[in-house]
Structure 1
Amino acid sequence: MKVTIEELEAYLLDHYSNGGIDQSLFMKLVEEIGEVAEVLNKKAGRKKSGSEDLQAQLGNELADVIHYAIAIAALNDLDMNQIIIEKDKAASVKYNHRTNLEQFIVDMRNKELDN
């Protein structure tokens, strides 16, 4: 199963609408970013690691980061799908990328139709 940004926003808005407070969600986001840093330090050998599955841990911590970031967006009525596309368009121009996210998706979908 795949989830879209819009579906995740709707789910998290429903989940946090009765008590989701931006500041507490932001503090959780910062905590999770710290946990991502810890796993990356272990993967790079800068921090001692046991027998844990660092790849799985990294995935879980990144999922938490996405969860809290999208929850904050949802509570503030932000359309992250549109914001991501528009921000990427501006960055593509600024940094002279050969394509932008929107065109990449269009090209990818066209290739799927051709196959």
Structure 2
Amino acid sequence: MKDLTFRQIQDYLLEHYQQSRTEEGLFIKLVEEVGEVAEVLNGRSGRKEGVQDSNEELAKELADIIHYTVAIAAINDIDLTKTIFDKDKKAAIKYQHERDLEGFLNGKES
């Protein structure tokens, strides 16, 4: 299995959704998938019965959340990689983390 970048999946999803979906439609699907993750987690905690409780099911629902999140970014021409690095850098400063994501990836402290 190949590694995947946000840019690659954004390009793929833009091609897939640019003519057929609106951001509102994608957002509704995202909310639906968040609800499905909640069901799995509620099943695990015993708050809900009859729910398939497996890491495989949880993984599928989390992948769906990523799919629709990235699709919304793609059709709005948002560079998620840049945004994640920028947001993490600010959070690392705000919360006084020893290193930010960029430092982690470089294997050193920021």
In the superposition, the TM-score normalised over structure 2's length comes to 0.92
CA positional deviation for 1:43 = 1.3
Partner of 1:55: 55
Per-residue CA deviation, residues 53-109 of structure 1 (Å, 9 max, x unaligned), is 52111000000000000000000000000000000000000011111001101118x
Number of positions where the alignment pairs a residue of Structure 1 with one of Structure 2: 107
Partner of 2:6: 5
Over 3 Å counting, the alpha-carbon distance change for 1:53 and 1:42 in structure 2 is: closer
More relative contact order, 1 or 2 (CA 8 Å, 6+ apart): 1
Per-residue CA deviation, residues 25-52 of structure 1 (Å, 9 max, x unaligned), is 00000000000011011111211146x4
Structure 2 matches for 1:27-42, cutoff 5 A?
27-42=28-43
Tell me if structure 1 keeps the 8 A contact 2:40–2:53: no
Q: C-alpha separation between the residues in 1 aligned to 2:46 and 2:3?
A: 33
Tell me if structure 1 keeps the 8 A contact 2:10–2:73: yes
Runs (5+) with no aligned partner, structure 2: none
4+ aligned runs moved over 4 Å, structure 1: none
- Once the two structures are aligned, what percentage of the paired residues are identical? 48
Partner of 2:45: 44
Letter of the aligned partner of 2:74 in structure 1?
A: A
Q: C-alpha separation between the residues in 1 aligned to 2:43 and 2:54?
A: 8
Runs (5+) with no aligned partner, structure 1: 109-115
| Alignment pair present for 1:66 and 2:66 | yes
